[in-house]
Structure 1
Amino acid sequence: MNMVVFWGILIPFIGTSLGAACVFIMKRDFHPNVQKGLTGFAAGVMVAASIWSLLIPAMEESAHLGKLAFLPAFVGFWLGTLFLLALDKIIPHLHQNTDQAEGMPSSFQRTTMMLLAVTLHNIPEGMAVGVVFAGLLTGEVNITAGAALALALGIALQNFPEGAIISLPLHSKGQSKGKAFLNGVLSGAVEPLGALLMIFFAPVFAPYMPIFLSFAAGAMLYVVVEELIPEMSEGEHSNIGVLLFALGFTVMMALDVALS
């Protein structure tokens, strides 16, 4: 079991690192349509993971509440949404393809704020992986090792393009390949840290696992709606983002069902 948890925490970080390594083999940024497609894929994975790996288990665990089985998930979802909204307003960050920074005013360089945007994006993913493995370890929710690994693998799949999307622009803006790769890797380091934090405190919040599962779902879906969907839709009209969203959604859905 310990090895399952170890790899479950590490797999998403490996996905980010492999994506960041693209800076060593690619000479230029992704074509805009490719970037839209990869962003759509990531959004699809996150939506499916929020539903199948987080919200549905949360409501199943609350089945004893009868018609109020939705209540813990409802509360947790809103707490996760408001938590990400607060971070979004506090942490200075800059999304791709925009010159308007968000968060509190700061004197950070553009590249630093781009890194903070990706780090902000990765926080709920690390929390989601951590809370699912915490549920597996405590036995408080009906989560199998396969289902937990399916979530980790799905997050890793969408982390791969994200790692490249951060390292390639950093290199094109003047950073060396080595530094751009390192920054891409560091942007994903918050995920295993967040996962470990959730697992460490698992005995404390075990009785409230449905709330924490839906908390992670609310945080992830905040990122999808606030960041990913606008990025996959901006610029010249294209359906590539929607099609890759559908692909990411169905891949994550299939992984969760097949590995459960």
Structure 2
Amino acid sequence: MDISLNSVLFAFGLTLFAGLSTGIGSLLGFMSKKFNPKFLAGALGFSAGVMIYVSFIEIFVKARDSLESVLGEKGGYVGTVTAFFAGVALIAIIDKLIPDAENPHEMKIVKTYSEGAHCKISERQTEESARLMRMGIFSALAIAIHNFPEGLATFMSGLSNHTLGISIAAAIAIHNIPEGLAVSAPIYYATKNRKKAFWLSFASGLSEPVGALLGFFILRPFFNDLTFGLVFAAVAGIMVYISIDELLPAAEEYGEHHIAIGGLIAGMIVMAASLLLFA
């Protein structure tokens, strides 16, 4: 399949935007008096709704169409399902290999940090600034590892369809905000240096565009309907796992159950409407 330079640049720009939104998390923490956790809960639910809906309704279908053109109807469907669950397995393995204390999916520190810049995290967490610094650095590394497949997901979506890419980039950007908080909070409390906390949080998102570029250049020599379909189906699996494992639990932690579910449904409705408008 032919891919234009403009499409590649557009997809990369979306991935860069999504990845660097970790810096927004730091800024929200530093402006915590104006920060409403319930709003973030709704936004995270909204992001999950966008990603789940588009994964099953748009990305999975496109992957299946692409694979069926090469493997036939049954072979294409089997290939799509297999690649989908391979994507789920990939992100689950990455998640499993990262210890809970450094895992961005276990962001126990974020809620406290967002409620006030001067509140204590906990006696255990403030015993040693060195331990807090280590927590922040390892959170940054963990998020960088997680962002590799997310970057590929955003990039591939933007490469396939500009409207789809914008929607996915916005959803990924929303879900990167609390990850940015997870990095900056312990570093700030360890060093009392806002700039250092911000820049390390900001830099942790760089792995997203890096992951997109690496994935693209590795796959580019083999890029055809078969590889596109397999990668796109895996991307759908990755996004569904992220939504269920990370976004929805985080949304409920920040706010109330119905706020999270309301955001989820709203995300699906908006995504459905945008796909209908630009169909």
**Residue pairs, 1:183-198, within 5 angstroms:** 183-198=200-215
Counterpart of 1:6? 9
Counterpart of 1:36? 41
Aligned: 1:96 with 2:100: no
Counterpart of 2:61? 56
Letter in 2 for 1:75: T
3-state SS of 1:234 partner: helix
Which residue of 154, 171, 174 corresponds with 1:161? 174
Distance in 1 between the 2:183 and 2:11 partners? 29
* Structure 1 position 75, deviation (Å): 0.8
CA deviation vs aligned residue, 1:157-185 (integer Å, no higher than 9, x gap)? 22443444234455544523322332332
Letter in 2 for 1:56: V
* Structure 1 position 257, deviation (Å): 4.4
Counterpart of 1:140? none
* Structure 1 position 88, deviation (Å): 1.3
Between Structure 1 and Structure 2, how many residues are aligned?
241
> Do the aligned residues in 1 keep the contact of 2:60 with 2:233 (CA within 8 Å)?
yes
* TM-score using structure 2 length: 0.72
* TM-score using structure 1 length: 0.77
Q: Pick which of 54-63 and 122-131 moved more.
A: 122-131
Aligned: 1:202 with 2:220: yes
**Percent of residue pairs identical:** 24
Distance in 2 between the 1:232 and 1:24 partners? 19
CA deviation vs aligned residue, 1:55-114 (integer Å, no higher than 9, x gap)? 110111233523444211111011111111221122333321269xxxxxxx88222343
Aligned: 1:220 with 2:225: no
3-state SS of 2:263 partner: helix
**Residue pairs, 1:126-145, within 5 angstroms:** 126-132=151-157, 143=160
Counterpart of 1:102? none
Q: Pick which of 195-204 and 15-24 moved more.
A: 15-24
Distance in 2 between the 1:225 and 1:129 partners? 18
Distance in 1 between the 2:17 and 2:97 partners? 28
* Structure 1 position 150, deviation (Å): 2.1
Distance in 1 between the 2:199 and 2:52 partners? 28
User: Structure 1: which 4+ aligned runs deviate by more than 6 Å?
Assistant: none
Q: Pick which of 117-126 and 207-216 moved more.
A: 117-126
* Structure 1 position 24, deviation (Å): 4.5
Q: CA RMSD in A?
A: 3.0
Distance in 2 between the 1:132 and 1:15 partners? 12
Aligned: 1:124 with 2:149: yes
Gaps in structure 2 of 5+ consecutive residues: 110-121, 123-130
Q: Pick which of 195-204 and 75-84 moved more.
A: 195-204
Distance in 1 between the 2:185 and 2:9 partners? 35
3-state SS of 1:97 partner: coil
3-state SS of 1:62 partner: helix
Aligned: 1:243 with 2:262: yes
Q: Pick which of 218-227 and 174-183 moved more.
A: 174-183
Distance in 1 between the 2:254 and 2:25 partners? 25
Distance in 1 between the 2:137 and 2:172 partners? 19
For the pair shown, which has the larger CA radius of gyration, 1 or 2? Answer: 2
Counterpart of 1:151? 164
> Do the aligned residues in 1 keep the contact of 2:52 with 2:240 (CA within 8 Å)?
yes
